[in-house]
Structure 1
Amino acid sequence: MRETVTFTSGSVDHYYDGFGMLDSIVPKATCIIITDSNIADLYKEQLAGYKTIVLPPGEEQKNIQTITSIAEKLVAYEAHRGTWLVGVGGGVITDITGFVAATYMRGVPFGFVPTTLLAMVDAAIGGKNGVDFGLQKNLLGTIRQPKFILQDASFLDTLPALEWSNGFAEVIKYGCIFDNALFDILEKNDLEYYRNHREALTTIISRCAAWKNKTVAADETETGVRKLLNFGHTAGHAIETVHSLPHGQAVALGMLIACIISEKVSGIDKEVRQRLGHVLRNYGLPVTCRVNIDEAMQVLKMDKKRNAGDVDFIVLEQIGTARIQRIGFDVIHGALIIFNDECNS
């Protein structure tokens, strides 16, 4: 099955028929797969016959040195402007692949095969590609859409428990900012339910992907509504950097901090944060952390969404409705103090 989503810069074909159809989308002879060693080891049979570039796994690979190394390998493969790059992996791999494809020979065609829940519902969708620089996540990057995204939920059969939780942090985010009915569904179930009910899981993946595509189609370059997708990510990225937490865990904590700020600036009831905490726990995500506030604020003040003395922050008006609001760094600092105090109580 193929579904085409149109953006300002072009269209993306979404396929749902499994990895086996990759060769019918892009012939092996014109394709180079970028993946990590975990996927290369687990799926040797599926990757047989493809030219591959295999990276060590992990966020620490998202740097300009990795990009240079991949470019050297592409030159060795004699890759040209007609060569396709296909990222097979999680968000790190799709970010790296998209960045390389946007810059190698000033642009080559590329596609993604996401293998993690987080990548399926969020990271592989929307055209953002980039690498980290210093303490800043994705400081160097592009917005360029893949030509296709090939979804194959069978990759989740080998997904570690931690990565299931990481993915559900983004699923929960969609419920918070767009879809109160989705939040209610998540509230009634838990991580184990979706690990054991594939049909329900694929419905959730499709629902979240639709929200991401709809939002990006309305604002591809993130000047308006696309910023809503950063709910939980402003404080979350700082916590991720300072405490070396997995992305989903950091976003979970960032959403709780965003709720504290929302209580102050939009007047939501504290019950919203309590409900969110309950859902996060049910999906194996943390709700407490002793944040190093000084270091987190240093990272926050270099956030890509910052202005002179404040930052474009996403606050909730209620579950399912969010807005963009400029928030002073002093307000964020105060929320971090409250968060730490409540973690210690």
Structure 2
Amino acid sequence: MKTLSIHSAIGNSEILVGETLVNVGTYLPKNRKIAIITDKNIRSLYGSQFPQADVIIEIPEGENNKVLHTLENIFEQLVAAEFDRTSFILAIGGGIVCDVSGFAAATFMRGIDFGFVSTTLLSQVDASVGGKNGVNFKGFKNMIGTFCLPRFVICELNMLTSLPTSELLSGMAEVVKHGAIADPDLFEYIEQNPDKVLAYDAEALERFVYDSVVIKSTIVNKDAKEGGARRFFNFGHTFGHAIEKNTKMPHGYAVSIGMVIASKMSAARGLLSQHDVDRIIAVLQALGLPTECEIEPIALFEALKRDKKRDGDGIHFVLLDKIGNAVVEKLSLNELEQIIHDLR
């Protein structure tokens, strides 16, 4: 097991890479009410390993259930179980379970403590680490949420081997992103070992998780609320969220296409070499991730206009000047509209 820490303006968090679900009880507070929030699939697979809890709350699976109504159902069950400000929420699941549970904990009675057992690659390398919690609203991704850190995040590596290939690859898009924005060695390792990804190689998966958590924790320690370097994690996500909204494809698949668009934009603005653009496209294709899709420009632009990263008449957009180094430029909506048409 490897342990990393976040000590930031929004609190402290321990990330335990390689710890297991069966040991989670040792990290839970004593003599306090415990609620476990999970989904039906995780409970059916791993429920026998769950720690003792006062209530187990199942939330429905799927991105369309990452909404306020799900949050309301959680609150109703917490109130019925007479939870108070000393109580604790333990989320066991992937990104949706962790996002919703973290938001519930951050807002119930103005905030109670919580922790995560992260069960998917996407959640371990991105969603569960760093304190972003939230739900979608009116089809727009993570429109309502908080910055609030879990007390701990357990990255359960053993569970990754049971993931469907589509979920594994969705998480790998975020790993590629981390290499592209901050770690050229990680990017090169993925380039050289796509077969290890598809073979669910345990050593490779551990490196992907650990290196990603190192990158994320290092940046969050310096910039907890996305005022500076934390914006780099949005590489591929501005277009990715718009694509996800309009196509309903998995998050990582949409981000993969978004990274290609952002890379081409970087080259068009004289920042990134065509060679590096080609490397990014090639590594995504080697993993089996999409690099293009058919979507009407007007639909893409309308979604971009409602992106939560919008600042007045522009959006802070993450670009690359080389693999391993990200930059942020504020692009006007007029510029983005033209770029969308030019990239087709």
What is the TM-score of this pair, normalised by structure 2? 0.94
Match of 2:25 among 23, 31, 42: 23
Corresponding residue number in structure 1 for 2:112: 108
Match of 2:250 among 243, 246, 257: 246
SS in 2 for 1:81: coil
Cα distance in 1 between the residues matched to 2:100 and 2:275: 39
C-alpha displacement of 1:292: 2.0
Match of 2:241 in 1: 237
Pair 1:326 & 2:330 matched: yes
Q: Which amino acid aligns with 2:146?
A: T
**C-alpha RMSD of matched pairs (Å):** 1.7
Q: Does 1:226 align with 2:227?
A: no
In the alignment, which of 30, 34, 38 is matched to residue 35 of structure 1?
38
- Matches for 1:112-127 after TM superposition, within 5 Å: 112-127=116-131
What is the CA-CA distance between 1:331 and the residue it aligns to? 3.1
How far the C-alpha of 1:333 sits from its partner, in A, is 2.9
- Per mean C-alpha deviation after superposition, the further-off stretch among 127-136 and 45-54 is 45-54
* 2:265 aligned with 1:261: yes
Percent identical among aligned pairs is 37
Name the structure 2 match of 1:343. Answer: none
Alignment map for 1:51-66 (pairs within 5 Å): 51-66=55-70
Give the CA deviation at 1:10. Answer: 2.2
Deviation for aligned residue 1:194: 6.0
Alignment of 1:84-233 (within 5 A): 84-190=88-194, 192-193=196-197, 195-233=199-237
Select the residue among 295, 302, 310 that pairs with 2:299: 295
Paired position in structure 1 for 2:5: 4
Per-residue deviation, 1:192 = 4.1
Shift in Å, 1:325: 0.3
Unaligned runs of 5+ in 1: 341-345
Any unmatched runs of 5+ in structure 2?
A: none
Offset of 1:324 from its aligned partner? 0.6
Contact 1:257 1:335 (C-alpha < 8 Å) held by counterparts: no
Conserved 8 A contact 1:81-1:105:
yes
Report if the CA contact (8 A) 2:253-2:290 is conserved. Answer: yes
Alignment of 1:58-77 (within 5 A): 58-77=62-81
> Shift of residue 48 of structure 1?
6.7
Residue 48 to residue 124, structure 1, CA distance change in 2 (3 Å): closer
CA distance in 2, matches of 1:217, 1:194: 32
Once residues 31 and 3 of structure 1 are traced to their aligned partners in structure 2, the CA distance between those partners, rounded to angstroms, is: 25
Partner SS for 1:223: coil
**Deviations 1:157-209 (CA, angstroms, capped at 9, x unpaired):** 22111000000000000111111111111111115446442122212210110
Tell me the amino acid that sits aligned with residue 129 of structure 1: N
Does the CA-based 8 Å contact 2:231-2:318 persist in structure 1?
yes
| Cα shift at 1:153 | 0.4
* Secondary structure class of the residue paired with 2:311: coil
8 Å CA contact 2:197, 2:287 repeated in 1:
no
> Which of 22, 44, 48 is the aligned partner of 2:47?
44
Residues paired across the two proteins, number: 340
Residue 76 of structure 1 aligns with an amino acid whose one-letter code is: A
**Conserved? CA contact 1:135–1:299, under 8 Å:** no
